[in-house]
């Protein structure tokens, strides 16, 4: 539904984490320490383990372009009952948080949405809040219609028609499998890094010896 064919190009993000735990990122390979975190070449490494998630989690924690989008991400997550960490992972893999990204296939903005899929114009989808809200709605619909987030992500990347042709399962398309792998790996890493929810209630169990009297 969201893409009739695999995207041919995505923004690149190069980076490394130094000895102090600081993540350094750039749109190009500045020197030999930088390795490709996001981009077509990185996606094509998969199947096979991609170990870029830790550096991306660090970057997502302090990058100004991520922080400025947090209100929209929270709004979209609440409105469409979708995990905010999943939205972050999709955006990181799709556009590296470049709100102005437009693919050769015409997918637009942060979540790389085709205007026809969201019933919105290119100009509307270049607005970050509009793009995130539309993407969250579309992704929540895909999750409801498909068995598992992995298949929903495959439909996001390759199109629902392609998923249906393969019996509602993950299609054997290397680019699609790479895309799903990257999003899920980053999503899991973000979940692991998320602080535990604060305690809001206290329940005291009765003393068992007293309760038995």
pLDDT of 191 reads 87
* High-pLDDT (> 90) share of the chain, %: 46
**Is the pLDDT assigned to residue 100 strictly greater than 90?**
yes
The CATH code of domain 13-193 reads 1.10.530.10
**Is the pLDDT assigned to residue 90 strictly greater than 70?**
yes
pLDDT tens track for 112-155? 999 999 999 999 999 999 999 999 999 999 999 997 899 999 99
Among the listed residues 12, 75, 94, 210, the single catalytic one is 94
**Cα dihedral 154/159/164/170 (nearest 10):** -20
pLDDT of 30 reads 80
Q: For residue 182, give the 3-state DSSP assignment.
A: helix
The DSSP output letter for 108 is B
pLDDT of 24 reads 65
Label residue 5 by pLDDT band (50, 70, 90): very low
145 vs 142: CA distance, rounded Å: 5
pLDDT tens track for 166-203? 999 999 998 898 888 888 888 988 988 877 755 555 55
**Tokens representing residue 184 in the block:** 């899920």
Q: Whole-model pTM?
A: 0.71
pLDDT tens track for 46-72? 333 334 577 788 888 888 889 999 999
**Tokens representing residue 76 in the block:** 């979209």
Q: Give residue limits of the domains in the chain.
A: 13-193
pLDDT of 19 reads 54
Pair 128, 69: CB distance under 8 Å: yes
- Is 75 noted as a catalytic residue in this protein? no
CA dihedral for 35, 41, 28, 7, sign (positive or negative): negative
């Amino acid at each position: 539904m969201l893409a009739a064919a695999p995207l041919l190009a995505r923004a690149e993000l190069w980076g490394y984490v130094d000895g102090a735990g600081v993540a350094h990122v750039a749109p190009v390979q500045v020197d030999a320490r930088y390795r490709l975190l996001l981009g077509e070449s990185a996606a094509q490494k998969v199947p096979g383990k991609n170990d870029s998630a830790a550096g991306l989690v660090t970057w997502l924690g302090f990058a100004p372009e991520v922080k400025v989008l947090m209100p929209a991400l929270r709004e979209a997550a609440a409105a469409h009952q979708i995990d905010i960490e999943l939205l972050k992972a999709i955006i990181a893999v799709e556009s590296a948080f470049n709100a102005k990204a437009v693919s050769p296939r015409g997918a637009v903005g942060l979540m790389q949405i085709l205007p026809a899929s969201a019933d919105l114009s290119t100009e509307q989808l270049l607005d970050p809040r509009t793009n995130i809200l539309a993407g969250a709605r579309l992704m929540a619909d895909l999750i409801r219609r498909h068995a598992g987030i992995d298949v929903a992500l495959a439909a996001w990347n390759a199109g629902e028609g392609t998923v249906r042709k393969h019996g509602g399962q993950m299609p054997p398309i290397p680019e699609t499998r790479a895309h799903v792998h990257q999003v899920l790996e980053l999503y899991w890493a973000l979940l692991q890094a998320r602080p535990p929810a604060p305690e809001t209630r206290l329940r005291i169990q009765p003393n068992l010896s007293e309760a038995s009297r």
